[in-house]
């Protein structure tokens, strides 16, 4: 790892990588090379899946938040520490159809794939939602975005979906908590607006072997790690992940 930066409760890790360039919306499985375990017996943690936030020549950025033992260990890493990567994995975002105007909407660490996608698109309306002012410090990672906070401490007081204006020539790209994605999917489906959702789910392997990230669609079950993580909103009955607690 070559750099660690902090934005409120978020950590950005910059990692050296000389593999194939990722597509926006793809992800990597991350594992600390040392002390990757917990408890008295140091039982190994499972790798953690993270969308690429930005990609440069031989460097990748990942956005993390310390929410449990595995992410805590990754957030502790400092420049010079070793980190194992597996990726790029999954299917990323597809270009807007029929010349539609892209609208990007994200919440929390879900802003990560929108950053690299916005870089590639060059121009897009971007809407970001956060819990409070501390978390909203992450908005600097995507300059020019409109911001909403749950407590009204920064930007719009309310849900980020309040800022979503749907028109006939719009395509929506979203990543964030399941309830936010569910709301985006419902709004877009009702308005007949295409939407691509980068969905979050616990993944043990990242390449389809464990079936731990299976979600239902109108055409049967799919594995997010190989059939996603980007899924067309029109294919979903709900964007709430079964068993996620959301």
Whether 118 is covered by a domain: the verdict is yes
Q: 101 with 85, same domain?
A: no
**What is the number of alpha carbons within 13 Å of residue 113 lying toward its C-beta?**
29
Q: 135 with 217, same domain?
A: yes
| Model pLDDT, residue 203 | 79
Q: With 70 as the cut, is the pLDDT of residue 243 above it?
A: no
Q: What total of structural domains would you count in the chain?
A: 2
CATH (domain of 149): 3.40.50.80
At 15 the three-state DSSP class reads strand
pTM, rounded to two decimals? 0.93
Q: What is the pLDDT of residues 69-88, one digit of tens each?
A: 999 999 999 999 999 999 99
Q: With 60 as the cut, is the pLDDT of residue 245 above it?
A: no
Tokens encoding 144: 């020019």
Q: 70 with 104, same domain?
A: no
| Model pLDDT, residue 242 | 53
Q: 62 with 183, same domain?
A: no
Q: What is the pLDDT of residues 195-241, one digit of tens each?
A: 999 998 777 788 778 877 888 888 888 888 898 899 999 998 777 76
* Residue 69: domain span: 3-89
Whether 245 is covered by a domain: the verdict is no
Q: 109 with 228, same domain?
A: yes
Instruction: State the chain's maximal CA–CA distance in angstroms.
Output: 57
Q: What is the pLDDT of residues 97-119, one digit of tens each?
A: 999 999 999 999 999 999 999 99
Whether 228 is covered by a domain: the verdict is yes
Among the candidates 65, 89, 113, a domain finishes at 89
Q: 114 with 78, same domain?
A: no
Q: Rounded mean pLDDT of the chain?
A: 92
Backbone phi and psi for residue 47, each to the nearest 5 degrees, phi listed first: -60, 155
| Model pLDDT, residue 244 | 46
Tokens encoding 50: 């993270």
Residue with tokens 């879900």: 110
CATH (domain of 44): 2.40.30.10
Q: Which of 177, 174, 178 is nearest to 242 (CA)?
A: 178
- Please provide the distance, in angstroms rounded to a whole number, between the alpha carbons at the two ends of the chain: 33
Average confidence (pLDDT) over 124-151: 97
Q: What is the pLDDT of residues 142-194, one digit of tens each?
A: 999 999 999 999 999 999 999 999 988 999 999 999 999 999 999 999 999 99
Q: 120 with 225, same domain?
A: yes
Q: 156 with 82, same domain?
A: no
Q: What is the pLDDT of residues 26-71, one digit of tens each?
A: 999 999 999 998 777 778 888 999 999 999 989 999 999 999 999 9
CA–CA distances in Å: residue 216 to residues 166, 187, 219, 224, 241:
26, 19, 8, 10, 9
Among the candidates 70, 89, 108, a domain finishes at 89
Residue with tokens 């010349």: 99
């Amino acid at each position: 790892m070559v750099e660690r930066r902090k934005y409120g409760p978020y950590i950005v890790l910059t990692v050296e990588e000389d593999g194939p360039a990722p597509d926006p919306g793809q992800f990597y499985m991350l594992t600390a090379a040392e002390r990757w375990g917990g408890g008295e017996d140091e039982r190994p943690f499972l790798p953690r899946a993270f969308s690429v936030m930005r990609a440069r020549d031989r460097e990748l950025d990942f956005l993390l938040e310390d929410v449990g033992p595995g992410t805590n260990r990754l957030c502790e890493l400092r420049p010079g520490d070793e980190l194992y990567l597996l990726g790029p994995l999954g299917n990323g975002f597809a270009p807007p159809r029929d010349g539609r105007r892209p609208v990007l909407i994200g919440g929390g660490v879900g802003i990560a794939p929108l950053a690299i996608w916005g870089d590639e698109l060059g121009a897009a309306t971007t809407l970001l939602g956060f819990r409070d002012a501390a978390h909203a410090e992450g908005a600097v990672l995507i300059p020019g975005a409109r911001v909403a906070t749950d407590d009204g401490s920064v930007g719009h007081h309310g849900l980020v979906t309040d800022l979503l204006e749907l028109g006939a020539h719009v395509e929506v790209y979203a990543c964030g908590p399941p309830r936010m994605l569910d709301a985006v999917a419902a709004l877009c489906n009702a308005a007949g607006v295409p939407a691509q959702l980068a969905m979050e789910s616990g993944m043990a392997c990242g390449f389809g072997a464990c079936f731990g990230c299976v979600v239902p669609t109108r055409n049967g079950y799919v594995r997010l790690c190989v059939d996603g993580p980007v899924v067309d909103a029109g294919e979903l009955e709900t964007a709430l992940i079964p068993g996620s607690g959301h």
